[in-house]
Structure 1
Amino acid sequence: MNRIGAFYDRIILAHPWLVLLAFAALMVLAALRFDQFRLDASAESLVLENDQSLEEYRQVNRTFTTSDDFLVVTYTPDGELFTDAGLSRLAGLRDELAALEAVGSTNSILNIPLLHSPDLTLDTVDTEIKTLDEDPVDPATARQALLANPMYPNLLISEDGKTTAIQLNLPTPSRYFDLLNQRNQLREAVDSGQASAAEQQAYEQVSDEFIRYTEELGATRDRTISEVRSILEPYRDQATIHLGGVPMIVADMIRFIGNDLSTFGLGVLAFLLLTLAIIFRQWRWVAVPLVCCGTTVWLMIGFLGWTQWPVTVISSNFISLLLIMTLSLTIHLIVRYREFQHDEPRADARLVLRNTLLAMIKPCFYMALTTIVAFGSLTFSGIRPVIDFGWMMTLGLTVAFLITFLLFPALLRLLPPPLDSRVSSDRIPFTDAFARFTEKSGGAVLLGSGAIAVLCVIGLNRLTVENSFIDYFKSSTEIHQGMVTIDDRLGGTTPLDVVITDEPAPEAGGGDPFASDCDPFVQDCGDDEYRDTWYTYQKMRQLREVHDYLDSLPETGKVLSIATTLDILARVNGGEPLNALELAFVPAAVPSDLEDILLTPYISEEADKARFSIRILETMPDLRRQELLDRIRNHLTENFGYERERVLLSGMTVMYNNMLQSLFDSQIKTIGVVFAAIAIMFLILFRSVKLALVGIAPNLIAAGSVLGLMGWLGIPLDMMTITVAAITVGIAVDDTIHYIHRFRTEFAKDGDYIATMHRCHRSIGRAMFYTSLTIISGFSILVLSNFIPTIYFGLFTGFAMFMALLGALTLLPRLIIAVRAFG
């Protein structure tokens, strides 16, 4: 402490202007890269670190020439759709959308083949195809043809024929994949430690170029979505129109988060300042915390800009958390300063400030350190954005601590606050009431805490790790309404691909297939000689069975596969299923201009793979992704006999599920390790096994109560709510450290546990109450957000603050008294 006191005497308190100038220079330097601060909600930001599923997803898209990069415009006219006027208005909308620069092509009922001609056969399919765009087809006939086609209903048109969709394909330029492959190859070399200096430099250059190009594509995508919305607006007077698709979900998530960061960031700050003004009633006690909090956030944003470290959906709340932590530190200093000022009203302001800093630096240091440990648990995750969030908070807490103990004293040295006569009578009935209750009803405190613990355990067992994208948005938002429409009428929202690899062909021939009585063209002969093609009777029959199984699942909407194509060809064939001979000639029978619709999305002869394209119903209330994926995989292997390595499940559904399961494994299952680490730090800090165990108890109750409440309310853990555990532990630890540290100081005066408890409730309890009240009030404004995770963050942060305060003012002192922790 002598060295710390000398540091403050010689530098901070002696030269406050130099400290302020140094911070001003840092802030100017940070501001130079504010324009590089960015939000990222790309596919890579929502998957596991080095998740093979992402590469498998991209490989499936390359193999079957498919992509999820498209927007969906749902169109439900007020009048009849299938009239000349109705189709003309739809065509006008389609043409305006197709004219956008970023739109590569469109799919709609206007340009898809109707396959309705009475002269249509397998032999004439290439000459008898008609479309509404190219041919004078009667609207009623077109409606009947579309609804009778196995592919289009519940995909491009609803089963009642009242709602249709326009698919806007947004092709990703090849340069993106070139840069991505270059970056990944160079990153593998760098991660392995075998990269040369030239390769490391090339990796940095390619990474920077990839980031810049990704940002350009993102800006273009946002601009396109904005242009699409502008085009849709004039058509809404005669139709109900919604916009959907994965790119739109990503764009809206970024937009909501950006709005929350700016609008609600300012709102939270305003609420915090108002609460501080009401509590302390001196402008210095509003201005100083404001400057400290603002400087912390300013420097962190600048640092993220300089390092081009993107903020994701998960880490977007780090600014709010930094406000919490910095504000908590400054409030504790303010309350302690006012106590010293009241105890020695004639003391020099510099001496009061020095005593405050020396009295609070140790508990605040350990508070920051234990909170870092809590957030450090996030780095055990396998998800890059969660890992980044953990490191951001680690760095941010370090910056918050340094700013509080450097900038706070410099500001007060130049602006010493006058003595506030209200400090002596500034008793808080809330904390006094809890002191009296803890003294007189100690048994009730322990019994109530035990009951809460039991409820927490039950609630924890109710927790799930599932959530739907639709649950992120209020029902009043367009994105929510669009997902409901797409799920209910157009086959589902989230893509899932099931890919089956063919068995390898035998190395040697098995003889003449015509030497037996079995005719391979009309019946199943085991077809060992024909394993190099998918178009055999046996394989197509089994793919049909797989299709029917997938289509029967309640979680699936539209299912497309080669079986869909065969149904279409059977209809063209007069309604009769294709026989083995006709199956063998399917690739030749399909016109080349229809191959990209009927064949290549579902069968790849070159890769020996068959694909089933599935849309998952996001609006299904009991959707359990992991259970669904396990059920599909097990059914295909156990009931259909496919080897596990031949079955691949891919798509956004798989990647998002992998992230959720990893979050559960890395956070909930390791929370015990986090508490063990905090217990060790308590042991080092308090040098008492009793105090370490006593200090852990209210933290367990606080963290368990938040997670237990989520279980009781049926709120699933997802990429946002999972971080509440770390946040709660960090907040609860702060109160515990401050209370025990102050209890030890006060207990040394008279050795009376009860009197010490009352003094602590009136001193450090007051600081804890002010901190909790300020943060709960400030973050209550987040409930006005349109982004549900932001609302949950505000609510659970407030609840965590309340439970941490409640535990520190009741259970903690009761346990200290019960075990006579100080002898």
Structure 2
Amino acid sequence: MSATLATLYQRVVLAKAPWVLVALLALIAFLGSHLPDLKLDASSEALVLEGDKSLEYYREISKRYETEEFLIVTFQPEGDLFAPEQLATLAKLRDDLAALPRVSQVNSILDVPLLQSPPVGLSDVTSGDIPTLANGQADIDMARQEFATSPIYRSLLTSPDGSTTALQVNLQRDEKFYELVDARDQQRALSLKGEPGAEAALAEAQQRLDDYTAEVHERQEELVAAAREIVAKYRNGDSLFLGGVPMISVDMIDFVKSDLKVFGSGILAFIVVLLVVIFRSLRWVLIPLLNCVLTVVFMLGLLAWLDWRLTVISANFVALLLILTLAINIHLVVRYRELSATDPAASQMQRVANTVSLMARPCIYTSLTTLVAFASLVVSGIRPVIDFGWMMTIGVVVALILSFLVLPCLLMLLAPKEEKGGADESASFTRYFAVATERFGLPILVVGVLMLVVSGVGISQLKVENRFIDYFHEDTEIYQGMETIDEELGGTIGLDIILRRPADPVAVAVADDEFGGDFDEPANVGAADDFSDDFGDAFDDFGGGGSGASAASSEWFTVAGMRRIQEVHDYLDSLPETGKVQSLATFYELMQIIMGNVDDLQLALAQRSLPESINSILIDPYLSADIDEARISLRVKETSRSLQRNELLKQVRRHLVEELGFAEEDVQITGLLVLYNNMLQSLFKSQILTLSAVFVAILAMFLVLFRSLSLALIALAPNLLAAGVVLGVMGLAGVPLDMMTITIAAITVGIGVDNAIHYVHRFMSEFPSSGNYLETMYRCHGSIGKAMYYTSVIIVFGFSILALSNFTPSIYFGLLTAAAMLAALLGSMMLLPKLILMVKPMGPEFSGSGESRRAGE
């Protein structure tokens, strides 16, 4: 810090310490009053790629085919599912679920029309006189067989062995929500075009959507809680699980709340214990602890005031902020104690002012490097990661400012006392790192090179493919429900194939691009998707009239068109990764069962005479006659360990175009699986861009700070190794890149480089006093080395606390980052000084006035 700034700081801050503290506390109290308004977000947009055009197409398809949100209840009784007592229990469960608010309908095996129990003719179908389990007209044994073999119901309403069934609780489509989404998207498009006033209108539209989303979530919480109470009431020896997008959304926010509490309280407790062990002084426990708490309250209050919402990704925000704030405080405290021990006669003003003056520059640069690391996350293209990056960027600045205001001002209110911790403490345990560096320099270099090679091998094996179900513990309802639906009821995540009417059905077009159009959408990843698409809205209303004559005019609604769809249907059904497939081919197969061989005229007559209840099941979800578009809906087995989403999408498109002869432009692939895949595939690019930006920015800062290219490169080396180690371990251990783990390497470099900055900065200031590199290394290890060690221990154990999370990516994030920070510490304490000793970047040694490096050993 320059003499002018130091003098100004003393006059404005230190000399008026009580008033500075009063002003800060008033500001923090104002922001803290907004803490009850802090909101959490687990909306669909939190799991998709920012600006992904596939999302717009996905919403268009959802609107066109009128899909609804839903809850799924899986029911596996101890006895025979089709026994009268079990069907009676199922009926009561259905009725209780139907009484929930905003439920439009509950679909179950009790209510669906049965065409083979006993077999019915076309006249029975068109008259609406169709057997169901509920109306008592169905033969139970025949129904059991029909549910096991029916192209509509098998692996959809019942498991293949007939032991498990699903109840789909359809929720009323929230038209207001989609209207607000459309309004927001329209304003966003205008804003991108630079329309006057569009930015303000976009902010207003986004605020309306955010406010309504909070209302929707409150209603979902109440609905899910009520559904859980109902399910629990019927879980008397029977196996019941609740699933569906609303439940996953509610549970993920509960995880965020839990993680915030666990991480915050756990790390605070750890901080207290560690400070007591390190300093054994009440003031050095309370002052840093108070500073950490005030920083967290300031930032959380600011987020609440700005209505900036936390997500699953930013659940680590509190833990990270506590760790970073404490690290700055540790460096300040250690330096203050060193100066006090060196000059016990100095006044409190001199001690505090000298501490701030000496630590300002390295702390500012370490904060800048950390800031750059978090700011680099904004290139990820994933909204929650972008928000997390900006939150932590602001948090780092706040932590730095408050640390240089709160701690010094509090010290000014206290009387100076005798301190221990001088730089020449010969018994300092950190000096053993210096001994190891001197005696085992060559092995350290060899180990570093080997780790770099192994890391390179591991990085080459990094992958993004993962199982969404593995994000949750096996004992959670999300995991168990998804597993049951996936294994017993036809798959978890939805995928739609949209076929446009081809000008030439046998034309083959060669794709210009590998995907040929947008792979479209996963907004709510992990959902047991598209049961609603498979059933539509109506099972209980057997009125006549059909859905109009428009379907019969479609070229898809001909024998030739049906057979083309059936080709695609059968191919998709043959894939090992797919579960239930539904399309117009199902209707065609049923008509053949009922009528035998059918022609175009019979298809048209059958469709015109079918009741609305049948049309809504077999035709409406799979045909948009107005634009002559067919939809094939399938669900993919998300729990499959062999699932390669990106390869599956490529394979499907390639087969439809090259083998079945569809033109590239006539095939669109959309669904939750596609949106999720788009996000995952962006992670490789994001990781490269993120790390590149971080290393370039940090190297530039090193050049400015150290004014030496060789010293800048030396300081960067251990952090490159630490980042390589964490990515290499991920690759070798098979830990995939996801929204959480993508941030590890950048954060590792941004935080780990702090040690290198502090060490090199101290080395540069100590070297002129002795002119001897080895002696300077020992002195640095005995002084700044202690602060580096303390802060690293805090960071390692602090991140390890994330292992208590309910969210598996958070566990990976915590443990891997802790391991990387340990590697960064060892690199800065051994590899970095060894490189300095080898390269001698500060020039040749000279005879100085320092004592022998071995004094006191």
Same fold by TM-score greater than 0.5: yes
Q: Which runs of 5+ in 2 are unaligned?
A: 506-551, 844-857
Mapping of residues 319-338 of structure 1, within 5 Å: 319-338=318-337
Is residue 147–residue 157 contact of structure 2 (8 Å, CA) maintained in 1? Answer: no
User: Structure 1: how far apart are the matches of 2:208 and 2:680?
Assistant: 30
What residue is the counterpart of 1:58 in the other structure?
Answer: 59
The DSSP-based 3-state class of the residue aligned with 1:533 is coil
How many angstroms does 1:534 deviate by?
A: 0.8
Letter in 1 for 2:92: G
1:661 aligns with 2:681: yes
Post-superposition Cα deviations, 1:725-780, rounded to whole Å, max 9, x if no partner, equal 11111122111111110111111111111111111111111111111112222333
Q: Distance in 1 between matches of 2:87 and 2:111?
A: 12
CA distance in 1 between counterparts of 2:312 and 2:594 reads: 49
CA, structure 1 residues 676+249, in 2 after alignment: closer, same or farther (shift >3 Å)?
A: same
Question: Aligned in 2, Cα 1:191/1:306: closer, same or farther, shift over 3 Å?
Answer: farther
SS of residue paired to 2:172? coil
Q: State the match for 1:184 in structure 2.
A: 185
Match of 1:644 in 2: 664
SS for the counterpart of 1:730 is: helix
Partner of 1:9: 10
- Closer, same or farther in 2 for the Cα pair 1:373/1:81, shift >3 Å? same
Could you tell me whether the CA contact under 8 Å between 2:369 and 2:750 is conserved in 1?
Answer: yes
- Compared CA separation, residues 377 and 119, structure 1 to 2 (3 A): closer
Deviation per CA, 1:623-660: give whole Å up to 9, x if none. Answer: 22111111112221221222222221212111111111
Q: How does 1:19-34 map to 2 (within 5 A)?
A: 19-34=20-35
Partner residue, 1:87: 87
Which amino acid is 2:81 matched to? Answer: L
Task: For residues 246-265 of structure 1, give each alpha carbon's deviation from its aligned partner in whole angstroms, at most 9, with x where no partner exists.
Answer: 22222211111111111332
Structure 1 residues 176 and 427: CA distance shift in structure 2, 3 A:
farther
2:597, 2:435 → 1: CA distance? Answer: 84
Specify the SS of the correspondent of 2:557: coil
SS at structure 1 position matched to 2:430: helix
- TM-fit CA distance, 1:3: 2.1
Deviation at 1:580, TM superposition (A): 4.0
Distance 1:469 1:208, change over 3 A: same
798-807 or 449-458: bigger deviation:
798-807
Q: Map of 1:143-222 to 2, 5 A cutoff?
A: 143-196=144-197, 202-222=201-221
Q: Confirm or deny that 1:548 pairs with 2:570.
A: yes
Q: Is the 8 A contact 1:505 1:531 kept in 2?
A: no
SS of the residue corresponding to residue 446 of structure 1 reads helix
Whether 2:836 is the aligned partner of 1:816: answer yes
Q: 1:413-466 deviations in whole A, cap 9, x for unaligned?
A: 113563234768977765222211111121111111000000110110111012
Q: Give the 3-state SS of the residue equivalent to 2:668 in structure 1.
A: strand
Tell me the distance in 1 between the aligned counterparts of 2:449 and 2:10: 48
Distance 1:119 1:138, change over 3 A: closer
1:419 maps to a residue whose letter is E
State how far apart, in whole Å, the 1-side matches of 2:617 and 2:416 are. Answer: 75
Report the Cα distance in structure 2 between the residues aligned to 1:645 and 1:410, rounded to whole angstroms: 68
| 3-state SS in 1 of match to 2:631 | strand
1:613 partner SS: strand
Q: Distance in 1 between matches of 2:155 and 2:606?
A: 25
In structure 2, the residue matched to 1:701 is 721
Which residue in the other structure is 2:112 paired with? 112
Most deviating of 58-67 and 732-741: 58-67
- Please report the TM-score for the alignment, with normalisation by the length of structure 1: 0.93
Q: In structure 2, do the counterparts of structure 1 residues 323 and 590 end up closer, same or farther at CA, with 3 Å as the change threshold?
A: same
Alignment of 1:662-681 (within 5 A): 662-681=682-701
RMSD: 2.0
Q: What is the CA–CA distance in structure 1 between the aligned matches of 2:751 and 2:838, rounded to whole Å?
A: 24
Gaps of 5+ in 1: 507-529
Is the contact made by 1:245 and 1:493 (CA closer than 8 Å) also made in structure 2? no
Residue number in structure 2 paired with 1:447: 446
Compared CA separation, residues 491 and 416, structure 1 to 2 (3 A): farther
Query: For each residue in 1:341-395, what CA deviation from the matched residue of structure 2 results, as whole angstroms up to 9, or x when unmatched?
Result: 1111222122111111111100110111111112221111222222222211111
Q: Which residue of the partner structure matches residue 137 of structure 1?
A: 138
Structure 1 position 191, deviation (Å):
3.4
Instruction: Call closer, same or farther: CA 1:315–1:695 in 2, change over 3 Å.
Output: same
Segment drifting more, 119-128 vs 491-500: 119-128
Larger mean CA deviation between 140-149 and 228-237 belongs to: 140-149
Structure 2 residue matching 1:124: 3-state secondary structure: helix
Who is 1:778 aligned against? 798
Q: Which amino acid aligns with 1:160?
A: D
Task: Give the corresponding residue for 1:516.
Answer: none
Distance in 2, Cα, partners of 1:13 & 1:687:
31
Per the alignment, in what secondary structure is the counterpart of residue 359 of structure 2?
helix
Other-structure match for 1:511 = none
Question: One-letter code of the match for 1:539?
Answer: G
Q: Residue 515 of structure 1 aligns with which residue?
A: none
Match of 1:390 in 2: 389
- Paired residues of 1:761 and 1:809 also in contact (CA < 8 A): yes
The 8 Å contact of residues 269 and 778 in structure 1, kept in 2 or not, is answered as no
Which deviations, in whole Å up to 9, do the C-alpha atoms of 1:518-549 show, x marking residues without a partner?
xxxxxxxxxxxx99521123222121111111
Structure 2 residue 642 is the aligned partner of structure 1 residue 622: yes
Residues 1:309 and 2:329 are matched in the alignment: no
Tell me the TM-score normalised to structure 2 length: 0.90
Q: Give, in whole Å, the separation in 1 of the partners of 2:34 and 2:329.
A: 28
C-alpha distance in structure 2 between counterparts of 1:586 and 1:744, whole Å: 88
Which letter does structure 2 place at the counterpart of 1:8? Answer: Y
Distance 1:387 1:607, change over 3 A: same
1-structure distance, mates of 2:553, 2:708: 72
SS in 2 for 1:814: helix
Give the AA of the match of 1:639.
E
- Output the CA distance in 1 between the equivalents of 2:414 and 2:816: 36
Question: Are the aligned partners of 2:374 and 2:750 in contact in 1 as well (CA < 8 Å)?
Answer: yes
Q: Which moved more, 1:302-311 or 1:668-677?
A: 668-677
The aligned residue for residue 408 of structure 2 is 409
Report the CA distance between 1:79 and its aligned residue. 1.1
With over 3 angstroms needed to count, the CA separation of the structure-2 counterparts of 1:136 and 1:581, relative to structure 1, is: closer
Contact 2:424/2:782 (8 A) holds in 1: no
Identify the range of structure 1 (559-568 vs 10-19) with the bigger mean alpha-carbon deviation.
559-568
Stretch of structure 1 that moved more, 106-115 or 183-192:
183-192
Q: What's 2:529 paired with?
A: none
How many angstroms apart in 2 are the aligned matches of 1:272 and 1:428? 25
| Aligned counterpart in structure 1 of residue 589 of structure 2, from 567, 575, 584 | 567
Q: 1:172 to 1:419 in 2, by over 3 A?
A: farther
1:266 CA drift (Å)? 0.9
Q: SS where residue 66 of structure 1 aligns?
A: coil
**Which region of structure 1 is more displaced relative to structure 2, 452-461 or 406-415?**
406-415
- Whole-Å Cα distance in 1 between the matches of residues 418 and 500 of structure 2? 79
The answer to whether the aligner puts 1:124 opposite 2:124 as a matched pair is yes
Contact 1:377 1:667 in 2 (8 A): no
Partner of 2:704: 684
Alignment of 1:215-294 (within 5 A): 215-294=214-293
Residue identity over aligned pairs, in percent, reads: 48
> How many Å apart are 1:712 and its aligned residue?
1.0
In the TM superposition, what is the alpha-carbon distance from 1:35 to its structure 2 partner?
3.0
The alpha-carbon distance between structure 1 residues 704 and 577, as it changes in their structure 2 partners (threshold 3 A), is: farther
Residue identity in the other structure for 1:597: I
8 Å CA contact 1:179, 1:210 repeated in 2? yes
Kindly state the Cα deviation for residue 491 of structure 1 after the two structures are TM-superposed. Answer: 0.9
Tell me whether 556-565 or 356-365 shows the greater mean CA deviation: 556-565
1:534 corresponds to which of 534, 556, 562 = 556
Deviations 1:571-615 (A, max 9, x none): 223xx3534443344422432221111101111111321111111
Q: 2: distance between equivalents of 1:422 and 1:282?
A: 13
Partner in structure 2 of residue 601 of structure 1: 621
Residue in structure 2 matching 1:558, options 561, 565, 580:
580
1:735-746 maps to which residues of 2 (within 5 A)?
735-746=755-766
CA–CA separation in structure 2 for the residues paired with 1:34 and 1:257 = 16
Do the aligned partners of 1:38 and 1:310 also contact (CA within 8 Å) in 2?
A: yes
Deviates more, 1:286-295 or 1:775-784: 775-784
Which residue identity lines up with residue 93 of structure 1 in the other structure?
Answer: L
Partner of 1:526: none
1:465 corresponds to = 464
